[in-house]
Amino acid sequence: MTTPTTQKKTRRKKNKYYYFTQVHEDAIVQYALTTNREEREVLYGDYIGPVFNEMVDKIVYTYKFTNLPNVDLLKEECKTWLTTILDKYDPNKGSKAFSYFSVITKNWFIHKVKKHATQLRREIAYDSVVKEIEQQHLSTDNSYAKDREDAEFWHFLWKEIDDWDTGTLKPNEKKVLNAVKELLSSCDEIEIFNKKAIYLYLRELTGLNTKQVVNNLNKLRIKYRQFKIKWNEGEI
């Protein structure tokens, strides 16, 4: 007596490729063998085309080719390409039509994946190069603009300082002014690290004491602040 358990064991396992039957195998073989155009159209329309549609869809889903961009368009391209190689199938080589075209379809999509990955790498590399060039360009432009602005500032400042010497300055004022001009013109050659060192240097140049240097320097500071305000407001 057969029990449910033995029935379960002897039940035939359902083929996961049930959609691709012997009928479709025979249709592909017949398509490859015949040269009759009308017969091929009937075989493709009734049997081969529909089963190719399902085969491609299942392979795309099974191997996760769904992540490819424009995957629906790629599926249609693959199906079209399969029709161009139908007559190249040779059943005498021992390969079943299903296995033959399944492998070809999978390899076709693998090629697309590799091509897409290569394209992505190129795009990423290109974007990196473009960004680097843009950064260098911006850095160069900013540096150039700053250098030019600094040069213009010093040009007009020197002109302003020369105008301060109107011939009406008191002797000590003139001494401090000349000492400041000497200090500014030699700033690249003089190592001065703090305000106290500046006062000492000005004392040496003028022969004045610290109080005299500070008092006359404050008068020059007022003139400099007025110049800086005009510069910042674009009046110079």
> 134 pLDDT band (50/70/90 cuts)?
low
Chosen domain end from 63, 86, 120: 120
Domain check: are 156 and 225 in the same one? yes
Report the pLDDT value the prediction gives residue 157, as an integer from 0 to 100: 77
Domain check: are 115 and 62 in the same one? yes
The half-sphere exposure of 6 on its side-chain side, counting CA atoms within 13 A, is 3
- For 135-158, the pLDDT digits (tens) are 665 555 556 566 677 777 777 777
* Residue 167 belongs to some domain of the structure: yes
Domain check: are 24 and 94 in the same one? yes
Asked if 190 and 201 touch (Cβ cutoff 8 Å), the reply is yes
Asked if 77 and 108 touch (Cβ cutoff 8 Å), the reply is no
Domain check: are 165 and 222 in the same one? yes
Total number of domains constituting the chain: 2
Domain check: are 161 and 115 in the same one? no
Domain that holds residue 154: 145-232
Report the pLDDT value the prediction gives residue 156, as an integer from 0 to 100: 79
3-class secondary structure, 151: helix
Token pair of 123 as six digits: 């795009």
Domain check: are 66 and 110 in the same one? yes
Percent pLDDT > 90 in the chain is 32
Domain check: are 156 and 217 in the same one? yes
Token pair of 25 as six digits: 């195998």
Distance (Å, rounded) from C-alpha 108 to C-alpha 208?
A: 91
- Alpha helix positions (H), the chain: 4-10, 22-33, 37-43, 49-62, 71-84, 97-164, 171-185, 195-206, 210-232
- For 34-82, the pLDDT digits (tens) are 999 999 999 999 999 999 999 999 999 999 999 888 999 999 999 999 9
* Residue 101 belongs to some domain of the structure: yes
* Residue 140 belongs to some domain of the structure: no
Domain check: are 163 and 91 in the same one? no
Q: Largest alpha-carbon pair distance within the chain?
A: 133
Q: What average pLDDT is seen over the chain?
A: 79
Phi, psi values for residue 36, rounded to 5°: -75, 120
Domain check: are 105 and 55 in the same one? yes
Distance (Å, rounded) from C-alpha 173 to C-alpha 79?
A: 94
- For 176-213, the pLDDT digits (tens) are 888 887 777 766 555 555 666 777 777 887 888 888 88
Percent pLDDT > 70 in the chain is 77
| Distance, CA of 187 to chain centre | 44
* Residue 9 belongs to some domain of the structure: no
* Residue 20 belongs to some domain of the structure: yes
Domain check: are 159 and 221 in the same one? yes
Domain check: are 109 and 41 in the same one? yes
* Residue 115 belongs to some domain of the structure: yes
Domain check: are 99 and 169 in the same one? no
* Residue 127 belongs to some domain of the structure: no
* Residue 138 belongs to some domain of the structure: no
